[in-house]
């Protein structure tokens, strides 16, 4: 798909990040370890991290605060833990589709304490977006960016959410199936493929920047 960077952000879990990172070695593809956390308000919030270890530390916090219950595989599907060869190594039985007891502010704080990047997921969707759940993005919230889904044109998104132009906009595929990967993307101007460069692009530091969204 011509991608240089992907982020792996499974729902309330980072258990497959290491496998994807291992699979990408030697390919030139940079994998950002991440997790998509469901807050107490049922807002989806992306946490992006520099290392698999840090993403797993965030996962430990999420698991500690995850809604109790066991996944119903017939209803929600299997929650597979795989290795880099796409071989099944286990199954997560937690109710990963559920929410955590961490509110939005506490979740952002936890991500930042782990030197991560916090981005509100798919704010153009009614379900599980910060605007869909809260009605707005509270002023002064220390979020690092907002994501537009592949279903909304970026120009329409800027017009629709013009009051949030203080935040960087990114677009991504939010892929749940292989054919969706690369269906939406963000172009960055970077000096190299690493986490610090991505962070600098989001903040517009030292010439790094978001060039365009597709």
- Does 3.30.1490 match the CATH number of domain 5-213? no
Q: Look at residue 183 in the predicted model and tell me its pLDDT.
A: 94
Averaged pLDDT for residues 53-70: 98
137 three-class SS: coil
pLDDT tens readout for residues 10-54: 999 999 999 999 999 999 999 999 999 999 999 999 999 999 999
Tokens of 62: 């999420």
Q: What's the whole-number average pLDDT of the chain? A: 96
Q: Is the pLDDT of residue 214 over 70?
A: no
Q: Look at residue 212 in the predicted model and tell me its pLDDT.
A: 84
The reported pTM is: 0.96
Contact 170, 120 (CB under 8 A): no
């Amino acid at each position: 798909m011509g991608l240089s960077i992907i982020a792996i952000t499974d729902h309330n879990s980072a258990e497959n990040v290491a496998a994807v990172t291992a699979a990408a070695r030697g390919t030139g593809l940079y994998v950002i370890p991440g997790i998509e956390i469901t807050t107490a308000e049922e807002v989806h919030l992306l946490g992006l991290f520099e290392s698999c270890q840090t993403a797993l530390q965030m996962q430990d916090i999420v698991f500690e605060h995850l809604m109790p219950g066991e996944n119903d595989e017939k209803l929600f599907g299997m929650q597979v833990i795989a290795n880099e060869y796409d071989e099944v190594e286990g199954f997560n039985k937690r109710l990963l589709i559920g929410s955590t007891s961490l509110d939005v502010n506490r979740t952002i704080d936890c991500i930042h304490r782990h030197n991560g990047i916090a981005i509100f997921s798919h704010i153009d969707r009614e379900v599980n977006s910060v605007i869909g759940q809260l009605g707005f993005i509270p002023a002064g919230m220390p979020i690092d960016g907002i994501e537009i889904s592949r279903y909304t044109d970026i120009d329409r998104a800027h017009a629709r959410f013009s009051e949030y132009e203080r935040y960087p906009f990114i677009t991504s595929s939010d892929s749940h199936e292989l054919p969706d990967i690369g269906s939406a993307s963000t172009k960055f101007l970077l000096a190299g493929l690493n986490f610090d460069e991505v962070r600098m692009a989001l903040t517009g530091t030292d010439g790094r920047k978001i060039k365009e969204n597709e």
